Amino acid sequence: MSHRLLRDARVHGVLFRIDVELAAAVRSERCECGGALHSARYPRKPRCGVDLKQLDPRYAVRFSFCCAQDGCRRRRTPPSVRFLGRRVYVSAVVVLIAALAEGATPRRLHRLRQLVGDVSRRTVERWRRWWRESFPQTAFWREHRGRFAPGIATERLPTSLLEQMPGTDVRARLIALLRILTPITTTNTDPPAHAS
pLDDT tens-place values along the chain, 196 residues long: 556 787 788 999 999 999 999 999 999 999 999 999 999 998 988 888 788 888 888 999 999 999 999 999 899 999 999 998 888 889 998 898 888 755 566 777 777 777 777 777 788 888 889 999 999 999 999 888 888 867 788 888 998 898 889 998 889 999 999 999 999 998 644 334 444 4
Look at residue 195 and tell me if it is in a domain. Answer: no
**pLDDT confidence of residue 101:** 56
Which H/E stretch holds residue 129?
A: helix 121-129
**pLDDT confidence of residue 178:** 95
145-160 burial, b at 16+ Cβ within 10 Å, e below that, comes to eeeeeeebebeebbbb
**pLDDT confidence of residue 54:** 87
Distances (CA, A) of 63 to 16, 45, 73, 75, 196: 10, 13, 16, 11, 19
DSSP output for 134-176: IGGGSHHHHHHGGGSTT---GGGTTHHHHHHSSSSSHHHHHHH
Cβ contact 112:97 at 8 Å: yes
Q: How many CB atoms lie within 10 A of CB 175?
A: 17
Q: How many CB atoms lie within 10 A of CB 115?
A: 18
Look at residue 10 and tell me if it is in a domain. Answer: yes
Q: How many CB atoms lie within 10 A of CB 81?
A: 25
Look at residue 144 and tell me if it is in a domain. Answer: yes
Q: How many domains does the chain have?
A: 1
**pLDDT confidence of residue 24:** 95
Q: What is the DSSP letter of 100?
A: -
Look at residue 26 and tell me if it is in a domain. Answer: yes
Range of the domain at 123: 3-185
132/113 Cα distance (integer angstroms) = 23
**pLDDT confidence of residue 96:** 84
**pLDDT confidence of residue 82:** 95
* pTM for the predicted model, two decimal places: 0.85
Look at residue 157 and tell me if it is in a domain. Answer: yes
The dihedrals phi and psi of 168, each to the nearest 5 degrees, come to -95, -10
Look at residue 190 and tell me if it is in a domain. Answer: no
Look at residue 25 and tell me if it is in a domain. Answer: yes
Look at residue 81 and tell me if it is in a domain. Answer: yes
